[in-house]
């Protein structure tokens, strides 16, 4: 009896403690129980669906890219056909507007190595203005590299005609200049091709020369 009282007295003096109960065997068994077969089958099915959807999307993307490439090729072919048809129509229109019996075409080229900067060219046939062209820097550079420009194409009757050429530009030092010259040419039944070679006032040769091409 005395020993029981001593134990109760010792427990009363100790601070309050919380006693944790060990998990029962039933809870332990629940935690260790494996995932049911049905749940595992469902997860596998979901993964298969996701994999199939990804593969289908990838195949669709490849197919769309192939279709786009095919469409681009068709567009390029159509553009090429349109350009070809446009060129043919332009040639046909030129033949209708300028028959060989009355056609005259005038071409312009720069004298090789001439230092002038060409600004504009004006042409008159039999006193009538037929062309007035102002040149850009790119066009001037192309002429300096040997390019030839068709500045005019039109109709004139067979016989003798007068061509007046006016050239405006700048000399090598930057000073403005203007020079003009008259030429006579004869139009035959066949088309007439006239070539003008232009130079500035500092040119060693005649600034403006005419030739048949």
Asked if residue 154 belongs to a domain, the reply is yes
The pLDDT value recorded for residue 57 is 61
Instruction: Answer yes or no: do 198 and 117 share one domain.
Output: yes
Instruction: Answer yes or no: do 189 and 161 share one domain.
Output: yes
Domain span at residue 108 reads 103-212
Asked if residue 79 belongs to a domain, the reply is yes
The pLDDT value recorded for residue 7 is 45
pLDDT tens by residue, 190-202? 899 999 999 888 7
Instruction: Name the residue with higher pLDDT: 84 or 153.
Output: 153
Asked if residue 47 belongs to a domain, the reply is no
Instruction: Answer yes or no: do 88 and 167 share one domain.
Output: no
pTM: 0.58
Instruction: Answer yes or no: do 70 and 119 share one domain.
Output: no
Asked if residue 37 belongs to a domain, the reply is no
Instruction: Answer yes or no: do 91 and 153 share one domain.
Output: no
b/e per residue, 39-53, with b = 16+ CB within 10 A?
A: eeeeeeeeeeeeeee
Instruction: Answer yes or no: do 107 and 93 share one domain.
Output: no
Asked if the model's pLDDT at residue 24 lies above 80, the reply is: no
Average of per-residue pLDDT across 166-183: 92
Average of per-residue pLDDT across 32-47: 62
Instruction: Answer yes or no: do 89 and 116 share one domain.
Output: no
Instruction: Answer yes or no: do 126 and 66 share one domain.
Output: no
Asked if the model's pLDDT at residue 10 lies above 50, the reply is: no
User: Predicted confidence band at 99 (pLDDT cuts at 50, 70, 90)?
Assistant: confident
Asked if residue 22 belongs to a domain, the reply is no
Instruction: Name the residue with higher pLDDT: 105 or 78.
Output: 105
The pLDDT value recorded for residue 44 is 60
Instruction: Answer yes or no: do 171 and 78 share one domain.
Output: no
Instruction: Answer yes or no: do 136 and 84 share one domain.
Output: no
The pLDDT value recorded for residue 19 is 43
Of 59-68, 96-105, 145-154, 167-176, the one with minimum mean pLDDT is 59-68
Average of per-residue pLDDT across 73-83: 81
Asked if residue 7 belongs to a domain, the reply is no
Instruction: Answer yes or no: do 146 and 198 share one domain.
Output: yes
Average of per-residue pLDDT across 157-176: 93
The pLDDT value recorded for residue 11 is 46
Instruction: Answer yes or no: do 107 and 162 share one domain.
Output: yes
Domain count, the chain: 2
């Amino acid at each position: 009896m005395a020993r029981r009282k001593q134990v109760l007295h010792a427990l009363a003096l100790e601070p309050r403690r919380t006693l944790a109960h060990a998990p029962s065997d039933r809870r332990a068994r629940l935690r260790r129980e494996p995932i049911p077969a049905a749940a595992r089958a469902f997860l596998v099915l979901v993964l298969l669906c996701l994999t199939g959807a990804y593969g289908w999307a990838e195949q669709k993307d490849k197919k769309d890219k192939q279709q786009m490439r095919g469409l681009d090729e068709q567009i390029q072919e159509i553009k090429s056909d349109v350009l070809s048809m446009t060129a043919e129509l332009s040639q046909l229109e030129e033949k209708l507007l300028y028959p060989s019996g009355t056609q005259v075409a005038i071409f312009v080229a720069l004298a090789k190595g001439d230092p002038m900067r060409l600004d504009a060219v004006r042409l008159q046939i039999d006193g009538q203005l037929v062309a007035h062209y102002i040149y850009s820097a790119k066009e001037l550079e192309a002429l300096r590299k040997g390019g030839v420009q068709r500045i005019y194409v039109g109709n004139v009757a067979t016989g003798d005609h007068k061509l007046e050429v006016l050239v405006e530009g700048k000399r090598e030092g930057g000073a403005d200049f203007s020079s003009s010259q008259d030429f006579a040419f004869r139009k035959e039944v066949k088309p007439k091709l006239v070539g003008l070679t232009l130079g500035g006032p500092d040119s060693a040769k005649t600034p403006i020369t005419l030739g048949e091409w």
